[in-house]
Chains A and B, each alone.
Chain A
Amino acid sequence: MFPWQKQKTEAIEKRKARKISKNLKDNVKYIEEQYSYGLNYDFESRTIQGPSGRYHLFFYSTTVDTKQLSDHIVAPLLEMKKDIPVDRIVSVPNISPITNMGDVEKGLNDGSVIIFKQGIAEGFEVNLQDFKHRAVEKAENEKTVKGPKESFTESLPTNISMLRKKIPSKDLIAENISVGTRPAVPVTLIYERDLANEKVLENIKNRISSITVDNIRNIEILEQFIEERPRSLFPTLLYTERPDNVSNFVSEGYIAIMMDNSSSCLIAPITIWSFFHSPEDRYLRWAFANFSRLIRALAYFITLFVSATYVAVTNYHSQLIPIDLLLAIASSRERVPLPIIFEVLLMEIAFELIREAGVRIPSPLGPTIGIVGALILGQAAVEANIVSPIVVIIVALSGLSSFAAANYSINHTLRISRFIFIVAASFYGLLSLLGAILLWAAYVVSISSFGVSYFSPATPSTKSSHDTFFRMILKKERWRPGFINPKDWDKK
């Protein structure tokens, strides 16, 4: 540790270890100074002179429930005539004695009320926190037709309560690890004690506790700190906003990572298949679910390969195209001056622009995107002979298909990979395209997420519910995913 860091840490430790004094005035003076009372407009410091003694309350008026404060704390203190301990006067469920200033600080930051009494070297922390957050709403990014509709919100207690409702079991553990220093915030790991693999759990805890950064405020940032390959195209943690999805994963033996201020949570370890699965695949009946998966699989292949194949085939293997189609393509390209690869890249980039702008644009301006996209980039570009109509069709197809992805993280992977393949196809036709696919596939099968191969259970194979491209009939699923090595493999 550097000397200046050591100095800083020592000062903080000293401050935290300071004991609460018997003298109320000393305590009040110290805390008012620490919390800049008077400058901080929502910091309240209030003396209560009751018949039984003199009390002092500290709290942030913006983070506590003021109604409960006046009904259950202020009123009893004012009315109590006998001199009995504070925790027997105050009628709230959450009250705990504290002895040093570190706890006072922590309590105040968490939204508690701190009570001091004249003549007692002890304070009381009363948890009346009332942080404001959104109500539970419908899932916006992972929609389903059949199945539960609620989604996580930015409040951790609410989120955990939703999970507890779904898995009412004493084995569901919500464990806290703190991360960061300014201030240290808790990261909550949710898992089933009798399922989750110890090694994986240990690995996740180690990765979280080895983060050295001043603060991490939400799960989206945390994800980038704990993943193995930050530069990789492939996400190794699943990001989901649906409590039903999380409870499905947790009850299979996966581990969920949650934080306050995030309306989503992370699942680890994860394989590539989970990114292609929608929770709806389990809610729909077997045939319908598999049909929907088939369509999605088709969409992935289209989005990855259709533009690249068009470039490869028209440039290098035109003998493959049936004569009539070849003539059609040739005649549509007759007046287009650009080489095919530029044409395709131009349109692909235009599509990406529309997409990016569509996400960022304020919603009242939304319709503009449609006009610009459809008219200018589509029709006008064709009429101006900058691109051929067939390229517009192909790019629209591949762009549309990329949105069939069940998860937002994998959507980026698909879209970036598509550009790699298009460029590869322009070098040496199918030879370089297939080579690029092979390299890409070799990379996918070689990476792992928290010790689990990214492509399991297809390869390397283990006992599992074989939920890959297609799923089985639910009744026949016997094993939990063996690749994450849960403590109990058997579902039945």
Chain B
Amino acid sequence: MQLTKKPLRIREMVVIVFMVIGLKGGDTTPALFADHAQNAIWLVPVVSFLCLLPPFLILMYLLKKHEKYNLVELIFHLLGKKLGTVLSLLLFIGGFVSMSVDMRNVMEELNYLYFPESPTIMIYAIFLGICIIIANKGLETIGSLTWALIPIIILTILAVMTVDLRDAVWQRIFPILGDGPKTILVDGISKSSAFLEIFLLTIAYQAFHQTKDFRIGIYTGGILSCILIVTFYAIYAMVFDYNTINNIAFLYQESTEIVSLGHFFTNISTFFMIGWLFSTFLRFIIFLYILCWIFGAIFEIKRFEGLILPVGIVSMILSLIPPSFSINELVIRETSLQIITPLFLIFPFLLWGTDRWKNRGKT
């Protein structure tokens, strides 16, 4: 017996979005951007967000118009069974590749920084095992868990910001355009699919108390995430400066590594690992769950929770193929993002076009 049906509301949606998108401020994504954009790293996500905004708004408009559907059902409704399956599968594959690559990066980060003597696969297995067990418990548990742990994560974020800002020199933000406007634009647009989860999250459109909760939640969460990411990237630029920033792989950890808290606490980076690790766990739990949900929706599998284990393991095996972290991050991730980006930028327009085409006689 459940007293309230669909108990999740705005706050859970906000934190889910925040966890999946916003916490990209702390993984290896900034290193990806810094490679070309140097100290204009904070402008790249701004470009990406601006570039993602129109397709996202169109998708949200379509979802609002067709009240009863979630992402996959909407695609099926507008494009029909065959084309819909192809497009949804492409989206799923995009998400899957992105998740696998991200997960490998995070594992390498964890391994390299905190457990240098352990084999990656061992850490990977523990991490994935926990993710799979929790993802199996369903969206309500995930949403509630995320909300329950958000105080720790926010505390960590605020602490990192204060600590980093003590070491930051704001003039380092100049030259404001870094390597030049062209690099920023090209980088921002071509890698905008680093934030593709925001499209995939719309699979949960019907899962909240009201669809309004979902909409408010995703907008609020998205805005908060943008602010967080841009602030964090700007802080990195101010802490590391031009030419250093593109040689650092783990900006978040490095930035906490070089500061100290008074004379007593000289090495505090592990403190910040707590919030970071929680957020990483939650991020992949949500990501894994959503991917399986999409897969389940495509092939009409009602109890898609059963897919979490195989999808997780396949993703782990695939992501272990690249020989090293740098190849994974700088070759595979960059290339895959550049391939995936057009798909995510274009598909909402495609849906919109079909919607207009279908309704051409009615207005």
Contacts and interface: CB of A to CB of B under 8 A. Distances in A.
Interface of A: 197, 199-200, 203, 313, 316-317, 319-320, 322-324, 427-432, 434-435, 438-439, 441-442, 444-446, 448, 450-453, 455-456, 458-462, 483-485
B233 to A, nearest CB: 26
Contact of A484 (B2, B3, B140): B3
B265 A453 contact: no
A197 B115 contact: no
B130 interface: yes
B266 A455 contact: no
Interface in B227-280: 264-268, 270-271, 273-274, 277-278
A475 B181 CA distance: 58
B-side interface mostly:
helix
10 contacts: A320-B268, A432-B126, A435-B126, A438-B134, A441-B149, A442-B133, A451-B1, A456-B7, A460-B140, A483-B3
B186 interface: no
A439 B144 contact: no
B266 A322 contact: yes
B7 A445 contact: no
Contacts of A199: 1, 3
A445 B141 contact: yes
Nearest to A446: B141
Contacts of B9: 460-461
B137 A459 contact: no
Contacts of A435: 126-127, 130, 281
Contacts of B127: 431, 435
B171 interface: no
B110 A431 contact: yes
A258 B114 CA distance: 54
B266 A428 contact: no
A446 B141 CA distance: 5
B307 interface: no
Nearest to B8: A460
B274 A430 contact: yes
Given A435-B127, A438-B278, A446-B137, A429 B114 contact: yes
Nearest to B6: A460
Given A316-B115, A434-B277, A442-B134, A459 B110 contact: no
Nearest to A462: B4
B99 to A, nearest CB: 18
A462 B10 CA distance: 11
Interface of A is mostly: helix
B145 A441 contact: yes
A317 B273 CA distance: 11
A425 B272 CA distance: 18
A453 B274 CA distance: 27
B11 interface: yes
Contact of B265 (A322, A428, A446, A448): A322
A459 B282 CA distance: 16
A429 B137 contact: no
B130 to A, nearest CB: 4
Contacts of B219: none
A367 B163 CA distance: 51
A317 B114 contact: yes
B137 A442 contact: yes
B282 to A, nearest CB: 8
Give the residue among A435, A448, A452, A484 with the most B Cβ atoms within 10 A. Answer: A435
Given A431-B127, A460-B140, A203 B281 contact: no
Given A320-B268, A430-B273, A485 B141 contact: no
Interface string B130-166: 1001100110111111011100000000000000000
A309 to B, nearest CB: 10
A459 B274 contact: no
B270 A317 contact: yes
Given A431-B115, A442-B137, A453 B145 contact: no
A434 B271 CA distance: 12
Interface in B179-221: none
Contacts of B3: 197, 199-200, 451-452, 483-485
